[in-house]
């Protein structure tokens, strides 16, 4: 959120109009700071000098299992200091000390702030003071009364509050109303002075895309040189960035490989917050969490990228984006074993299918450049959940069949890419990504053997499942029971589409280190092997 605020300030603030000048506060616990994502975030925040973050560290030394000393003995304030934070330690029950620490934090420039507040869980409770038992259960009526007596509380009545506390809260509301009124007056003056900027600010905060942005979406032809869908995505992204200024993002140290660097738009840093390229470093989980915060802040359409196999590192953040309905965009490249010599550690098998299992995450694995452009259109138009673009490392031909069909076809999740060249459909070949081209070649081989094959490109399961029944039955008629799904990943799940009489040409073991052509042959995913499997299926 602090990153988004700094970028928005650089873009929209003007002399005398500090529309974006607020502070970002967070309360964090011992448990929060044990999580690895906290270190990823703290390291990047310190590097970027995000000095408008103030974190209150509730340092009570208790977690569910008891004392944090069982698993956590590090000097947390020292760790944050080493990460470039401004750190203070106070008594967390002393409100005057906390107030002074906030003022000191606001006076210190160039660093994010951690205020370590030493506290006691169940403070004042005779039985549960500093006890893990108070971590997840109410004290109970008798212990609440005992605590009130121990703290010399004037009343045993539930929810009773001292007059000075009530008075302080009664003041807080009107103070907030006045502050908001002053800000809105400033915004009104800003709109009168900077009309064009104000219109643009309202547009981005509303989440609307610029008019006619779709005209910048490139189209590709079959005469174009073969290109990896990651390269096609890079071309689409560069083109869209010129007309969608709120489109910002980066990668977990892999932009040259994922093709997600926006040329000519600068790097976001403490010196250049207007930059639109974000260097997240090798911090996939932190990147995913940061994308969520930027999206929640508003005014930006962020994307983040890494290799598909490393999506595992950011899964908790992806799941939260899906749960919260955030339109984050993920660019996951190197989508199969065909990355070649990197070997099985970098070759996804189960990742694609497991991501399809996340509710409200739209996963799209395009077959060529035109399907990739269509996928970006879907991702940018989506407002109620994240979208994952799953892209190839290896070059793929631009298919003649996608030139006029991809925009509508990808939006529907699956579509008939090539009808049977015979006067009947004997079998349906369903493929995604780089395997679609092989399915088309297998169709031609099967034609020579008088087998009529329909080829269906199915880049997105979730989008297809959302279609009306009539459309789905047109693509996959129930009377055509011979179906072969082709995908370079785990076959588990494809039975949803191929049924009891179908089969799957997939991969149920880890990849290997070899050139892509050799791997295709070894794993049975060449056009010839696909045609053989189809023939075998027809004979059963």
Helix 195-206 to helix 163-193 angle (10° resolution) is 120
- 261-265-270 Cα angle (round to 5): 95
Distance of CA 201 to the CA centre of its chain: 24
Phi then psi for residue 93, to 5 deg, are: -100, 5
d(Cα 470, Cα 477) in Å, to the nearest integer?
10
Phi, psi of 450 (to 5 degrees): 60, 35
- Quick one: CA torsion of 11, 17, 19, 22, rounded to 10 degrees? 110
List, as one string, the DSSP characters of 21-65.
---EEEEEEHHHHHSHHHHHHHHHHHHHT-TTEEEEEEE--EETT
Q: In 10 A of CB 114, how many CB atoms?
A: 29
Q: What is the sign, positive or negative, of the torsion defined by CA atoms of 242, 248, 253, 258?
A: negative
Q: Which of 205, 302, 229, 296 is nearest to 262 (CA)?
A: 302
Q: Are 351 and 312 in contact (CB under 8 A)?
A: yes
Q: Which sign, positive or negative, has the C-alpha torsion 138, 139, 142, 145?
A: negative
Task: Give strand ranges (E) for 368-411.
Answer: 387-390
Active site residues: 284
Nearest CA-CA partner of 249 in 229, 259, 239: 259
250 Cβ contact partners less than 8 Å away, ≥ 6 residues apart:
260, 261, 268, 277, 278, 279, 280, 287, 304, 305
Angle between helices 435-448 and 527-539 (to 10 degrees): 60
Q: Phi first, then psi: what are they for 15, rounded to 5°?
A: -55, 120
């Amino acid at each position: 959120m602090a990153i988004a605020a700094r970028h928005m300030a650089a873009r929209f603030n003007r002399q005398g109009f500090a529309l974006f000048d607020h502070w970002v506060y967070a309360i964090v616990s011992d448990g929060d700071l044990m999580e690895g994502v906290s270190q990823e975030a703290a390291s990047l925040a310190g590097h970027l000098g995000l000095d408008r973050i103030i974190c209150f560290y509730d340092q009570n030394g208790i977690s569910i299992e008891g004392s944090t000393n069982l698993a956590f003995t590090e000097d947390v304030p020292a760790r944050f200091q080493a990460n470039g934070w401004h750190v203070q330690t106070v008594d967390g029950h002393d409100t005057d000390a906390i107030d002074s620490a906030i003022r000191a934090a606001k006076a210190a420039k160039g660093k994010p702030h951690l205020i370590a507040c030493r506290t006691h869980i169940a403070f004042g409770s005779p039985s549960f003071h500093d006890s893990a038992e108070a971590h997840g259960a109410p004290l109970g009526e008798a212990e609440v009364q005992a605590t009130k007596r121990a703290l010399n509380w004037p009343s045993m009545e539930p929810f009773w509050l001292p007059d000075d506390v009530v008075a302080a809260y009664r003041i807080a509301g009107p103070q907030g109303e006045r502050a908001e009124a002053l800000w809105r007056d400033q915004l009104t003056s800003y709109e009168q002075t900077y009309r064009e900027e104000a219109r643009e600010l309202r547009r981005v905060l509303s989440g609307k895309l610029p008019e006619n942005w779709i005209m910048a979406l490139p189209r590709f032809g079959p005469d174009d040189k073969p290109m990896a869908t990651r390269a096609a995505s890079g071309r689409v992204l560069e083109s869209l960035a010129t007309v969608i200024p709120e489109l910002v993002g980066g990668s977990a140290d892999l932009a040259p490989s994922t093709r997600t660097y926006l040329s000519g738009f600068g790097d976001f840093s403490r010196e250049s917050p207007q930059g639109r390229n974000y260097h997240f470093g090798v911090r996939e989980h932190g990147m995913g969490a940061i994308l969520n915060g930027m999206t929640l802040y508003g005014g930006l359409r962020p994307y983040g990228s890494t290799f598909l196999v490393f999506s595992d590192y950011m899964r908790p953040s992806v799941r939260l984006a899906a749960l919260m309905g955030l339109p984050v965009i993920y660019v996951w490249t190197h989508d199969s074993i065909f990355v070649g010599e990197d070997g099985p550690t970098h070759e996804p098998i189960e990742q694609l299918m497991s991501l399809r299992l996340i509710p409200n995450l739209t996963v799209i694995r395009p077959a060529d450049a035109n399907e990739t452009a269509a996928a970006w259109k879907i991702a940018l138009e989506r407002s109620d959940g994240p979208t994952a673009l799953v892209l190839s490392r290896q070059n793929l031909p631009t298919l003649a069949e996608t030139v006029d069909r991809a925009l509508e076809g990808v939006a529907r999740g699956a579509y008939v890419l090539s009808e049977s060249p015979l006067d009947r459909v004997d079998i349906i070949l369903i493929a995604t990504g780089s395997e679609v081209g092989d399915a088309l070649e297998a169709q031609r081989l099967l034609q020579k053997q008088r087998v009529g094959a329909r080829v269906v490109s199915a880049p997105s399961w979730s989008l297809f499942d959302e279609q009306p029944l009539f459309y789905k039955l047109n693509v996959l008629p129930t009377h055509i029971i011979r179906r072969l799904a082709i995908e370079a990943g785990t076959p588990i799940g494809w039975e949803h589409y191929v049924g009891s009489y179908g089969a799957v040409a997939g991969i149920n073991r880890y990849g290997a280190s070899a050139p892509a052509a050799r791997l295709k042959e070894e794993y049975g995913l060449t056009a010839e092997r696909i045609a053989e499997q189809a023939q075998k299926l027809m004979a059963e």
